[in-house]
Amino acid sequence: MECITISKLENWKKNKKKFAAITAYDFSFSKLFSNQGIPVILIGDSLGMTIQGHSSTLPVKVQDIEYHTKAVRKGAPNTFLLSDLPFMSYYETRQALKNTAKIIRSGANMIKIEGGKWLVEIVKELSNRSILVCGHIGLTPQSFNYLSGYKVQGKEKKDANKLIDEALLLEESGIKMLVVECIPEKLAKKITKNLSIPVIGIGSGKYTDGQILVMHDLLGITEGKKPSFTKNFLSENGSIQKSIQKYIYEVEKGIYPNKKYSF
C-alpha cells in the first residue's frame, strides 16, 4: 500500500474521491485493514469500551493511546494514523503539547480532539508547531455526561448554526481534518461543502468526504445496544477481508450510509 499523507487526503477531497476509515487497536487487525486498502485508521478512545470494558471513553489514559498507537503503526506502516487525545488530556495548551508529543512519537500522523470554540488557542499552538490536528464536533463522546447521553446533535436550527460556525472557526484556527458525529445528513453535507479540509462522518449521512466506523460495529461483534447508523458487513460477506473490501467499496461509491443508516 502506498504511503497515505494529509496532502493525498486533501487531493481526494478536491477530486471528490470518498474514502473509508476504521478504528483499530492492535497489530493484527491494523495489518489486515491496511492490506485490504483502508487508508485511514483511528486509534480511538473507543478502546475504553471495546478493549477495556468500560461503559464510556472517559477512563482512557494517554499511555493507553500511546501503547495501542505503537501496535497499530507496526501493522500499518503506510496508513494514515489518527490518534485520540483522551478525556482531560488537553484542557490547557501546555498539557496538550506535552501529551501530543507522546502520541506523535508513538507513530500517529495526526491527533484528534473533541470540542468547539474553546479549542481555538490550543489548535493554533499545535498547528504552529507543525502538528496535524483533527477536530471532532457533533456528538462528542468525552462530553456524554454533559450531553445527557449519546444523542443526535444539531437537529434544531440554532444548534445546527452553532456547529457550522464551530467547524469554520476550527478550520480557521488550523485543523486539517474534521470528524462530524451523529448529526443530520443535510447539516453534514453543508459543513462538508463549506470546509476546504477533509470531513469524515460517523452517523452523519453519505455526503461527507470520508466515513469511519468502530471496527467492532462493522464486524457485528458489539455487545448490547448498537448505534443505529452501524452496518454489520461481516454477516453479509463471510470473512473479515471481504467485509472490509465491501465497506471500502460502498463508501467510495456513496452506497453506505444510505437513508437507513442516516439521520
Domain assignment of residue 31, given as a range: 6-261
Distance of CA 113 to the CA centre of its chain: 10
209 is in an annotated binding site: no
Taking only the tens place, the pLDDT of each residue in 29-45 is 999 999 999 999 999 99
Q: What is the mean pLDDT of residues 47-73?
A: 96
What is the percentage of the chain residues whose pLDDT exceeds 90? 87
Residue 81 falls within a domain, yes or no? yes
Q: How much is the pLDDT for 67?
A: 98
- Which amino acids are annotated catalytic? 181
**ω into 257 cis (within 30 of 0):** yes
**Residue whose C-alpha is closest to residue 208's, from 222, 218, 194:** 194
Return left, alpha or beta for 148; rule: phi > 0 is left, psi -120 to 50 is alpha, else beta: left
State how many domains the chain has: 1
> What is the pTM for the complete model shown?
0.96
Query: For residue 160, what are the contacts with CB-CB under 8 A and spacing of at least 6?
Result: 154, 183, 184, 187
At 218, which CATH number?
Answer: 3.20.20.60
Residue 44 falls within a domain, yes or no? yes
Q: Mean pLDDT, the chain, as a whole number?
A: 95
250 is in an annotated binding site: no
Taking only the tens place, the pLDDT of each residue in 151-203 is 789 899 999 999 999 999 999 999 999 999 999 999 999 999 999 999 999 99
Taking only the tens place, the pLDDT of each residue in 73-116 is 999 999 999 999 999 999 999 999 999 999 999 999 999 999 99
Residue 1 falls within a domain, yes or no? no
- 3-state SS assignment for residue 159: helix
46 is in an annotated binding site: yes
Residue 152 falls within a domain, yes or no? yes
Residue 33 falls within a domain, yes or no? yes
Residue 93 falls within a domain, yes or no? yes
Residue 47 pLDDT grade (very low, low, confident, very high; cuts 50, 70, 90): very high
Residue 249 falls within a domain, yes or no? yes
- 3-state SS assignment for residue 172: helix
Q: How much is the pLDDT for 148?
A: 55
Residue 38 falls within a domain, yes or no? yes
> What are 201's strand-pairing partners?
180, 211
